């Protein structure tokens, strides 16, 4: 079992956009629920969502957005159908409400995890989300703002009276069948149609008429028969109108509802095609602001919506299926296409696109040449900001996912461009960049304080307001300034104001993404890799994996040899193994110290450690699939061993973080495997490796324990071939026996038994050690326990593939016991 499978990286759930939680709100909700009160802040906020005031609706959405960041609070909101309450607000008349509602759902999906995301999809969050995105797509090319009223827009009192009268008529017809009968007999249809006909001049009157018409035509075949061709033409003109306000969107919807009432009688007279997406072409914002200062609400709402879409698609295959069926690829591509005007929106779209294109042949078939051109234009962009670096990296990841549909004539060139982008991303010294950005922030804040001294406004809060917002990101606490507005602040729904932290985050995200892409490049596309990594790499399991890899249907696959040669050559020529190894040294102590001193920068520490872990995973896969000579030969492999030894054993205690342990044990396992196969001596002693494995054995993750067992199996197999190693083999054997006996998982037990078979299979030193640790009696005792556990837990907890491997272990255990019994009859060596 000593061989390790190359690891295909699956991205973890991403964090929400918000950064500031409201613990007080969380405690209040929990307290109310514990005391059994019938009303809680959650009830109050959900009730405010129905308020007629858009400001109150926006406040409620923002408060929910803040609260759902606390995982303890989420069940309280889910029990009150928060998804069904927030979903309709994605299509609210107010752009601000739309944005905050999308942000609340986004945070709920990000903080709630996979089960919450799946539940959101089941509660039909996709329907308003799809509608919102399609409206946004149509609105990207227009950003008009209402100007002050002209004479033509002055009130028409005649129409105002008519509007009131039509509303009164609508109300009574809504409640009284007798009123509907009078409507038909008195010929009021022509009156209402004349009001509807004025939709281009007075949309308010037309909407009232449409409401009334929709009411009176419902289940009223007598009235439907009186509709004349001219009336149908009015309805057609309304439905085909191109005005972009929300009132006209409502009007078209009401007209469509009227048409639907009549079905065949009306449909037979109408012959037209709806626009693909109507409405949302304009962004109504207060006209007091200048155009340069006005917020592009369409793109802001789209950004929140795309992030929500990304989160649910990350967690739900059903959401990915809806993505494909609803044609959202074009919507996301239109967002990506705006990379030169709105890089934040483009980055969100690129993240979403990278997620939905992974292992999705159905979607790949729908890609058009124009979509590939958009990705190519992104990859060729020359902007130098860290956000654009992240965007190019994400686009490269999307192209890698699409490699099977790339034109054969440009395939090699495109993949080379992908590799160059990844190389350029990893070339940046993130530690030095963070230090420079922190200095830049300090200079900016000093200049801002100098300007703040000068009185620039009669209103005291106006000038300092932005400073307070920056303070939340820049860490006013360390300056001794209390943040009194934290509880009511909704700035967490918008991009952080600290541009330097934003750029540093983008850089680390770009390098993390780049390493993840290389991880996936250096492994097979077999979807069962993750399962086999936890199990065995015996010949039989490898054969199963290879056979399943060949069962590829419906997708044009590149020639493995050709692709492997190209990627292999690019990895070497661009010095990617050296760059990856450099990233395993990260984070730098100077950058860590700088970030730890500022609250606004502390979040980067975790991101820096994550980059290091991704680099270790990347090193693991490279060692698994590349020849030793390609990595630099014996000297380079020994240097890597020295580096990993320094990384793990130079500290007083071995780091115990799960992610780091999995990454470093994976890298050590692959390195020892390749060095053992070439008989290359390495610097890590058995005592050091046992110490590492003892820490790993306490980890709850099976992958980590399996790696530790494999490390000792490889080390023991090497020692068994040498002289005077019985003492070391005893230590290794005792540890493996302990794991085989006490590991909670059959996977860990099976791996430990397989390692024992390898270590004590042959050799005088192995025989001595086996007798000393009483291996045969221990295995005899373990055998019935292992069989019973397989019968009890096998089919309930493990897949057929896993059971296949465990059955092999069971058979090998019986054979190995017979082998040891034969040795027992021989005299002591």
Please tell me whether residue 763 adopts helix, strand or coil conformation.
coil
Region 407-435: mean pLDDT is 90
Q: What is the dihedral of CA 757, 759, 760, 764, to 10 degrees?
A: 160
Instruction: With 0.75 as the threshold, say if the pTM is over it.
Output: no
More confident residue, 462 or 231: 231
User: How buried is 736 (Cβ within 10 angstroms: 0-12 exposed, 13-18 middle, 19+ buried)?
Assistant: buried
Q: Does position 756 have pLDDT exceeding 80, yes or no?
A: yes
Q: Does position 676 have pLDDT exceeding 80, yes or no?
A: yes
* pLDDT band at residue 186 using 50, 70 and 90 as cut-offs: low
Report how many helices (DSSP H) and strands (DSSP E) the chain contains, helices first.
41, 0
* pLDDT band at residue 396 using 50, 70 and 90 as cut-offs: very high
C-alpha triplet 198, 203, 206: angle, nearest 5°: 60
Residue 161 has a CB neighbour count (10 Å cut-off) of 10
How distant is the alpha carbon of residue 629 from its chain centre?
A: 37
Region 245-258: mean pLDDT is 80
Q: Does position 659 have pLDDT exceeding 70, yes or no?
A: yes
Report the candidate in 720, 722, 714, 712 with the shortest Cα–Cα distance to residue 675.
714
pLDDT at 728: 92
Report the candidate in 695, 510, 515 with the shortest Cα–Cα distance to residue 619.
515
Q: Does position 554 have pLDDT exceeding 70, yes or no?
A: no
pLDDT at 2: 43
pLDDT at 552: 38
**Contact in structure between 362 and 352 (CB atoms under 8 Å):** no
Q: Does position 395 have pLDDT exceeding 50, yes or no?
A: yes
The percent of residues in the chain predicted with pLDDT above 90, rounded, is 28
Distance CA(296)–CA(228), nearest Å, equals 43
Listed range (212-221, 421-430, 465-474, 519-528) with the worst mean pLDDT: 465-474
Region 536-560: mean pLDDT is 38
Distance CA(381)–CA(718), nearest Å, equals 51
Distance CA(71)–CA(432), nearest Å, equals 35
pLDDT at 476: 37
pLDDT at 17: 45
Region 542-546: mean pLDDT is 39
Q: Does position 613 have pLDDT exceeding 90, yes or no?
A: yes
Over residues 488-522, the pLDDT tens digits come to 443 333 444 588 999 999 999 999 999 999 998 88
Region 635-658: mean pLDDT is 88
Region 272-298: mean pLDDT is 42
Over residues 458-498, the pLDDT tens digits come to 333 333 333 333 333 333 333 333 343 334 443 333 444 58
**Contact in structure between 748 and 705 (CB atoms under 8 Å):** yes
* pLDDT band at residue 707 using 50, 70 and 90 as cut-offs: very high
| SS3 of 261-307 | HHCHHHHCCCCCCCCCCCCCCECCCCCCCCHHHCCCHHHHHHHHHHH
Highest mean pLDDT among 133-137, 389-393, 399-403, 459-463: 389-393
Please tell me whether residue 461 adopts helix, strand or coil conformation.
helix
Distance CA(719)–CA(523), nearest Å, equals 30
Distance CA(309)–CA(724), nearest Å, equals 62
pLDDT at 179: 60
Q: Does position 284 have pLDDT exceeding 50, yes or no?
A: no
Residue 273 has a CB neighbour count (10 Å cut-off) of 6
């Amino acid at each position: 079992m000593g061989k390790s499978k190359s690891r295909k990286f699956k991205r973890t759930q991403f964090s929400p956009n918000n950064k500031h939680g409201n613990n007080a709100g969380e405690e209040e909700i929990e307290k109310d629920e514990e005391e059994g009160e019938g009303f809680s802040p959650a009830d109050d906020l959900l009730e405010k969502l129905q308020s007629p005031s858009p400001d109150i609706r926006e406040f409620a959405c923002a408060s929910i957005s803040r609260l759902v960041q606390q995982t303890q609070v989420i069940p309280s909101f889910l029990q009150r159908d928060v998804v069904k309450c927030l979903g309709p607000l994605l299509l609210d008349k107010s752009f601000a409400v739309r944005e905050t509602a999308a942000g609340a759902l986004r945070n709920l999906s990000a903080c709630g995890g996979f089960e919450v995301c799946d539940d959101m999809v089941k509660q039909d969050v996709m329907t308003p989300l799809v509608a919102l995105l399609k409206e946004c797509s149509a609105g990207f090319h227009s950003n008009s703002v209402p100007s002050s009223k002209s004479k033509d827009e002055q009130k028409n009192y005649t129409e105002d009276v008519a509007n009131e009268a039509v509303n009164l008529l609508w109300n009574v017809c809504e409640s009284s069948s007798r009123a509907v009968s009078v409507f038909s007999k008195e010929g009021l249809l022509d009156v209402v149609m004349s009001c509807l006909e004025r939709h281009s001049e007075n949309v308010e009157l037309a909407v009232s008429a449409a409401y009334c018409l929709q009411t009176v035509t419902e289940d009223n075949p007598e009235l439907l028969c009186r509709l004349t061709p001219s009336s149908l033409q009015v309805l057609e003109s309304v439905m085909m109108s191109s005005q972009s306000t929300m009132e006209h969107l409502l009007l078209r919807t009401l007209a469509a509802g009227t048409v639907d009432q009549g079905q065949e009688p009306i449909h037979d007279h109408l012959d037209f095609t709806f626009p693909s997406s109507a409405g949302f072409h304009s962004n109504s914002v207060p006209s007091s602001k200048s155009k340069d200062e006005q917020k592009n609400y369409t793109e802001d709402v789209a950004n929140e919506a795309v992030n929500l879409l990304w989160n649910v698609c990350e967690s739900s295959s059903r959401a990915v299926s809806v993505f494909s069926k609803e044609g959202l690829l074009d919507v996301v591509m239109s967002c990506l296409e705006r990379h030169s005007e709105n890089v934040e929106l483009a980055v969100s779209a690129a993240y979403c696109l990278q997620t939905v294109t992974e292992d999705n042949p159905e979607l790949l078939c729908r890609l058009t040449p124009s979509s590939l051109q958009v990705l190519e234009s992104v990859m060729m962009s020359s902007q130098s900001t860290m956000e654009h670096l992240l965007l190019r990296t994400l686009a490269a990841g999307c192209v890698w996912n699409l490699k099977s549909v790339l034109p054969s004539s440009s395939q090699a060139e495109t993949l080379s461009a992908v590799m160059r982008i990844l190389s350029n991303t990893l070339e940046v010294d993130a530690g030095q960049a963070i230090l420079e950005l922190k200095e830049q922030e300090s200079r900016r804040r000093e200049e801002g304080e100098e300007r703040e001294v000068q009185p620039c406004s009669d209103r005291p809060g106006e000038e300092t307001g932005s400073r307070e917002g920056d303070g939340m990101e820049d860490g006013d606490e360390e300056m001794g300034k209390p943040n009194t507005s934290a509880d009511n602040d909704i700035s967490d729904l918008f991009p952080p104001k600290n541009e330097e932290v934003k750029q540093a985050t983008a850089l680390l995200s770009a390098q993390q993404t780049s390493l993840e892409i290389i991880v996936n490049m250096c492994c097979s596309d077999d979807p069962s890799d993750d399962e086999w990594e936890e199990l065995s790499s015996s010949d039989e399991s490898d054969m199963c994996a290879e056979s399943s890899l060949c069962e590829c249907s419906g997708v044009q696959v590149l020639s493995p040899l050709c692709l492997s040669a190209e990627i292999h050559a690019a990895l070497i020529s661009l010095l990617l193994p050296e760059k990856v190894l450099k990233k395993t040294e990260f984070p730098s102590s100077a950058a860590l110290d700088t970030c730890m001193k500022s609250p606004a920068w502390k979040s980067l520490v975790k991101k820096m450690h994550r980059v290091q872990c991704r680099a270790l995973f990347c090193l693991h896969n490279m060692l698994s699939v590349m020849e030793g000579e390609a990595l630099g030969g014996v000297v380079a492999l020994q240097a890597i061993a020295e580096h990993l030894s320094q990384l793990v054993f130079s500290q007083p205690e071995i780091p115990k973080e799960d992610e780091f342990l999995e990454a470093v044990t994976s890298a050590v396992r692959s390195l020892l495997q390749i060095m053992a196969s070439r008989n290359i001596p390495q610097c890590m002693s058995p005592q050091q490796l046992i110490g590492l494995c003892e820490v790993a054995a306490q980890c709850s993750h099976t992958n980590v324990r399996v790696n530790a067992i494999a490390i000792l199996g490889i080390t023991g197999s090497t020692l068994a071939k040498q002289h005077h190693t019985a003492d070391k083999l005893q230590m290794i054997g005792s540890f493996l026996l302990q794991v085989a006996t006490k590991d909670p998982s059959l996977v860990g037990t099976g791996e430990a038994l397989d390692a024992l078979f390898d270590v004590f299979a042959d050799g005088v030193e192995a025989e001595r050690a086996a007798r000393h640790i009483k291996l045969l009696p221990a295995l005899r005792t373990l055998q019935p326990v292992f069989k019973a556990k397989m019968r009890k837990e096998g089919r309930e907890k493990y897949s057929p593939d896993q059971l296949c491997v465990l059955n092999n272990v069971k058979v090998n255990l019986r054979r190995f016991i017979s082998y040891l019994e034969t040795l027992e009859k021989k005299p002591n060596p």
